[in-house]
Amino acid sequence: MKATSYLATRRCFNSSGKQLFTTLLSATCASLLAIGGLAHADLIIEEAPAEEQEAAPAEAVAKDGEKPKEKSEPEKDAAVKSRIFLTNGDKLSGMPHGVDGQGNLEFTSESLRQKAGFPIDKVLSLELDTWKYRPRPETIARIQLYPSFGEASGDTLLGALHELTPDSIKLDTWYGGVISLKRSMVKSLQIISNGPGSYYGPNNLNEWTLTHGNGSWNFQNGALHSVSDGGAGRDVGLTEKTHISFDTQWKTSMRFRIQLYSSDVKDSSPDAYYDVNFNRSYAYLRTRGKVANGGNIARGGRWKQLNLPRDQTQAHFDIFVDRKTGTLTIYIDGLRACVLQSQSPDPENLGTGLAFVAEERYPIEISGITVTPWNGTTFPNQKFDLKPGGVPEAPADDTEKKEDEKPPHRIILKNGDEVPGTVGKVQDGRMIIETEYTPIRIPIKRIKSLSLGDDGEQPRKYREDVRAWFHDGGHVTLKLASFEDGKISGTSQAFGDVTFDLKAFSRIDFHIYDKKHNELRNDMR
């Protein structure tokens, strides 16, 4: 690869943000990786003028006391397609082109004269600005895999349910075509519809009401980002029994509130709500509203411990709520974390709104928000027997057991009914189910979820694994094979060889099992 010649201007700051000094250096792409830093540093790459390519760099910074010359026309900011984060703390905006045969991530920027190559072992993450609104289908299948050994959560994929067999679940996606997932590695399958009391997003900022005005929250790459104090709310038509799930990330400490059954999403302190306060490793429920005798109540309960690891900076939440009884059951990363009980359940003026409330000192990111009606009895299955992937099972006593004698699925409908049977193909928006007596066809929009049994298998880890984060929430892990032409290809024990459209992802992380690199990633957010 031909080295790119450029001038690098490095502005160094102390921890309080005061600029200490500015240095100039002339370097090649390889030397960019060796630049160190102080408390933090911004690396700005500027193209060297043609006449300076063969000469030493000229003075590029105004001397003390001199004002820099004003340009006749202001430069237009280039559209940022991505940012590359390096293991030494530096970052650069531009456009990724893929990984070449020597294992270098090729990257161009308006600040560079030509394409640069960064060795993959020096790349921490690639942040992508590729989100684009896509109309939601009437129903979406959300599949979550079992986590690999030592990981907090498994991969999550969204798409249209295509087919189920005794060994696989096929998902039709816009970003990867039809994906066949190994059934034993699927932890849960949930159907999300656009019916009453259902929501999936966020899709844009306009569909959310900001209690503290424009600028308190923003929308980027399919996620809501808090900027200052205040809430982001939406009337999602919460039903009497509801299931709310979402992914959240934080930088230093998990601290935010979620208001359920808000009577007014335009107000961060409405007249009535169930208010759940998450504060580091604890959760607390407060109830506000009118009681039957016309009085007002504002009561809280006891703090419940969550037992989150101190260094954790992201989590998937599932909250199951019974409005009448005031009972909230909270799962974090698929495990039951706590049960909160209102001391004054079901105030008469509760609404149907949902709101996330953040503090300026503790910014959060919310994505993959799912709201669906709940039957009041079904919770995530935790009674599974996990086996490492690739380990053969001991032969069963009945070696002659036929394939069609495998335990059937349990199809859970939105009204709480359960249908035992074996699911086959999905046609014309209906699921064909073979029951003991006769085949039946159930509209997918009437289905809440499918129970797939108690035995689970953990996907294997590979040294070359990367983790790609979807704009729509969740992530997928695969052993990287190629990255070119706007596509990323790889393999996973859970779904075999795949090729994904890069536009589906907001970020790609490298060296995902390295503790030091994960700490650097947490610091960069």
Residue-wise pLDDT for 403-452, tens only, equals 444 446 778 887 777 887 787 778 778 888 887 778 888 888 888 887 77
Burial (CB count within 10 angstroms: exposed 0-12, middle 13-18, buried 19+), residue 250: buried
Q: What is the pLDDT of residue 135?
A: 78
| Residues of the chain falling short of pLDDT 50 | 1-80, 384, 391-407
Beta bridge partners of 319: 244, 330
Closest CA to 461 of 388, 386, 516: 388
Q: What is the pLDDT of residue 325?
A: 96
In whole angstroms, what is the distance from residue 345 CA to residue 508 CA?
A: 44
Residues with Cβ < 8 Å from 230, sequence gap 6 or more?
A: 210, 211, 212, 213, 216, 217, 268, 357, 358
HEC readout, 245-257: EEEEEECCCCEEE
Domains observed in the chain: 6-62+76-128 (2.30.30.100), 139-193+384-390+404-458 (no CATH), 199-373 (2.60.120.560)
Q: What is the pLDDT of residue 56?
A: 37
Beta bridge partners of 261: none
Q: What is the pLDDT of residue 76?
A: 40
Distance between start and end Cα atoms, the chain: 32
Question: Cα–Cα distances in Å, from 508 out to 21, 227, 502, 504?
Answer: 33, 23, 10, 11
What's the pTM?
0.67
- pLDDT tens across 48-105, in order? 333 333 333 333 334 344 444 443 343 343 344 789 999 998 888 899 998 998 999 9
Count how many Cα atoms sit within 13 Å of the Cα of residue 312 in the half-sphere of its side chain. Answer: 18
